[in-house]
Each structure stands twice: as C-alpha cells, then as structure tokens.
Amino acid sequence: MPYRVLFLCTGNSARSQMAEALLLLIGGHDFQAESAGTYPVGLNPVTVEALREVGVDWQGRQSKRASEFMGQSFDYVITVCDRAKESCPVFPGPHKLLHWSFDDPAAALPEHRLKEFRRIRDQIADRLRTFLIDDLKLEPASLHS
C-alpha cells in the first residue's frame, strides 16, 4: 500500500505543487501525493515551466483547498511554508506532521523568477530524497531521477 502524503502551502501555486509532482517523480508508485493551500490562488505558470524542465508535465493542474482533504487520512502531512504551518488544519487519524520551510519563488523579481523557481524546485527535490532515504529508509537505488 502506498504512502499517502499531503503537502500544504498557503497558495498551492508553487512549492506544494512542486513537492507533489517531485515526490511522484522520485518516489514512484510507492507514494500517493496530494497538495493543497490554506488560501489557494491558482497554479503559477512558472511552476509548470520549472517542472517541465525535469520531465514532469504539470499543465492543466489546479490549486486545491486544504479543506478538500479534511476527513482523509495521510501518513505524512508536510507544510512547505511558514504561513501554512501556522494555520495548518488538523487531519484525522495517525500521521506525522513535518515542516519544511522553503522561500516563495513567486516573490522574486520578474527577471529572476524562473531562476528562483529552479532553485526552490531543486531544494525540494533534495529534501525529498533525504526524507525518502533517511526517514523512510528507502534504498537510494530505488529512487527515480
């Protein structure tokens, strides 16, 4: 049975979307990943572009509200921004709540935005690999990309 992981952010436009996509890419079929926002604002098109660069087609995805997942159980609920951590809803059942703080790439100046999205994408991928190897004890050779 796959691990169920929910990534939470404020807007569900960049960081949580990238974490969802990258966990599915790196972890493969061992994971069911979702993402949501406490105040969703729509998927940032630069998120789609940054994910496309690493082979993930995220076109057509939507921002989701955290309340859509209330009543569902997860193995891990992971906040990826400080504001979401402060207002994280309570999810039922046993799960582990983690917090990984990443800068908001959408806050970068327009001329630096894609570079910042790439930087945050790569930080999230590195953090996911560490989580999968150190916390879940997966073999590095079992990870994709």
Instruction: Enumerate the active-site residues.
Output: 9, 81, 88
Contacts of 116 (CB under 8 A, 6+ apart): 103, 105, 108
For the beta sheet containing 76-79, the strands, ordered from the edge strand earlier in sequence to the opposite edge, are: 31-37, 3-9, 76-79, 96-99
Contacts of 144 (CB under 8 A, 6+ apart): 25, 26, 27, 28
Contacts of 34 (CB under 8 A, 6+ apart): 4, 5, 6, 7, 20, 64, 69, 74
Place of tokens 């309340």: 67
Q: Is the CA virtual torsion 122, 128, 131, 134 positive or negative?
A: negative
Q: Is the CA virtual torsion 81, 85, 88, 94 positive or negative?
A: positive
